[in-house]
C-alpha cells in the first residue's frame, strides 16, 4: 500500500494531512484563478450545457456540479454546500439555479478567504467550519450538497448525522464521491445505517473518466509549474489526470464513483 494510503487510514492523521494540503494548494493555485478542486464529468455524447465564457474553461468540472445540483429543485431554497473548496461550484449553482440563499462551508480558512474575494454574489456566503460539527442550527437548510470530499473525513457516519440534523423536514442531500474497492463495503454500510434514506443513486465513473481526460492537458501543465517535483505524483492523483493512479483505478474498476440523492429517513 502506498505511504499516503497508509497515513490516510489513520483518522487523526487523515484530518491533519488535509488541513495542511488544502491551504497549501490554495496558496499555490490562487494566482491561477483555480475555482474548482473536484474531478470532472462528461457524458457521451457530450453534455453540452450552455455556459458563460467565464465558465467555459472549467466546463468538465462545472458539469459535475450541474449533475449533482440538478437532482433537486434549488430555486428559492436555502442551500448548504459542505466542503465547497474554492467556490466554483457554489458560484455556478447560485447563478444557474437561483436558490434563495447558498452557504459554502469549508475547513480550509485560506480557501474561504479566497472564496469571499472571488465569488461576490447576492445570496452567496462562505463560512469556515468542520463537516463533522456543522456550525448551524437544527433544520436550517432545504438542501445540503457535498461533492467529492467525504473520503477525506475522519468520521463519515458523523457527517451524515450532521447533514440530517441541519436539513429541514422534506430536505434533500445531494452527494457525489468515490471509494477504492476495499472501502466500498463500509461506505455502503454507513449510508444504509445512517439517518438518511437513499432516494436514488448511480455509478458515474465513466462520465468522470471522460471529464478527467478533458482536463488532463491543462492539469498536467499547471501541476508541473506550481508543485515541487516530489509532489507531482500526489498532484497527478489529486487532479485526476489521465494515467494517474486514481484515473486507472476508475478505468479498471478498482474505484467506484457515485452520485446519490438522499432524504431524511423519518420523512421519506
Domain ranges of the chain: 3-203+257-267
pLDDT the model gives residue 20: 64
Average pLDDT over residues 90-109: 97
Cell 509532489 belongs to 231
Length of the chain: 268
Q: What is the pLDDT of residues 212-264, one digit of tens each?
A: 999 999 988 988 887 888 888 888 887 889 999 999 999 999 999 999 999 98
pLDDT the model gives residue 117: 94
196-223 burial, b at 16+ Cβ within 10 Å, e below that, comes to bbbeeeeebbebbbbbbbbbbeebbebb
**C-alpha distances out from residue 217 to 24, 104, 233, 259, Å:** 22, 29, 15, 26
Average pLDDT over residues 81-106: 97
Q: Give the closest residue to 26 by CA, choosing from 114, 142, 91, 125.
A: 114
* Mean per-residue pLDDT over the chain, rounded: 89
pLDDT the model gives residue 31: 56
pLDDT the model gives residue 13: 46
Contact 41, 60 (CB under 8 A): yes
Per-residue pLDDT at 2 exceeds 50? no
Cβ within 8 Å of residue 164, ≥6 positions away: 173, 194, 195, 196, 264, 265
Average pLDDT over residues 99-125: 96
pLDDT the model gives residue 119: 96
pLDDT the model gives residue 236: 85
Q: Indicate the fold that domain 3-203+257-267 takes in CATH.
A: Rossmann fold (3.40.50)
pLDDT band at residue 25 using 50, 70 and 90 as cut-offs: low
pLDDT the model gives residue 11: 46
Q: What is the pLDDT of residues 141-192, one digit of tens each?
A: 999 999 999 998 999 999 999 999 999 999 999 999 999 999 999 999 999 9
Question: Can you tell me the distance from the alpha carbon of 64 to that of 57, in angstroms, rounded to the nearest whole number?
Answer: 14
Average pLDDT over residues 31-43: 87
Question: Can you tell me the distance from the alpha carbon of 120 to that of 81, in angstroms, rounded to the nearest whole number?
Answer: 16
pLDDT the model gives residue 267: 47
Amino acid at each position: 500500500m502506498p505511504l499516503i494510503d497508509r497515513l490516510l487510514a489513520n483518522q487523526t492523521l487523515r484530518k491533519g494531512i488535509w488541513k495542511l494540503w488544502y491551504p497549501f494548494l490554495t496558496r499555490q493555485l490562487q494566482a491561477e484563478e483555480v475555482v474548482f478542486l473536484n474531478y470532472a464529468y462528461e457524458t457521451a455524447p457530450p453534455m453540452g450545457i450552455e455556459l458563460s465564457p467565464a465558465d467555459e474553461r472549467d466546463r468538465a468540472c462545472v458539469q459535475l456540479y450541474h449533475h449533482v445540483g440538478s437532482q433537486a429543485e434549488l430555486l428559492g431554497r436555502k442551500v448548504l454546500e459542505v466542503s465547497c473548496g474554492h467556490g466554483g461550484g457554489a458560484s455556478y449553482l447560485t447563478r444557474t439555479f437561483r436558490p434563495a440563499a447558498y452557504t459554502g462551508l469549508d475547513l480550509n480558512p485560506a480557501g474561504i478567504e479566497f472564496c469571499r474575494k472571488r465569488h461576490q454574489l447576492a445570496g452567496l456566503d462562505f463560512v469556515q467550519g468542520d463537516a463533522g460539527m456543522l456550525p448551524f442550527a437544527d433544520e436550517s437548510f432545504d438542501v445540503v450538497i457535498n461533492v467529492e470530499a467525504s473520503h477525506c473525513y475522519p468520521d463519515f457516519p458523523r457527517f451524515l448525522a450532521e447533514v440530517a440534523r441541519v436539513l429541514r423536514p422534506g430536505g434533500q442531500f445531494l452527494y457525489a464521491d468515490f471509494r477504492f474497492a476495499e472501502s466500498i463495503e463500509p461506505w455502503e454500510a454507513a449510508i444504509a445505517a445512517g439517518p438518511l434514506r437513499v432516494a436514488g443513486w448511480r455509478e458515474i465513473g465513466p462520465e468522470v473518466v471522460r471529464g478527467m481526460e478533458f482536463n488532463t492537458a491543462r492539469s498536467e501543465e499547471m501541476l508541473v509549474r506550481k508543485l515541487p517535483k516530489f509532489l507531482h505524483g500526489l498532484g497527478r492523483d489529486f487532479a485526476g489526470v489521465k494515467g494517474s493512479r486514481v484515473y486507472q483505478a476508475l478505468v479498471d474498476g478498482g474505484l467506484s464513483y457515485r452520485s446519490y440523492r438522499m432524504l431524511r429517513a423519518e420523512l421519506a
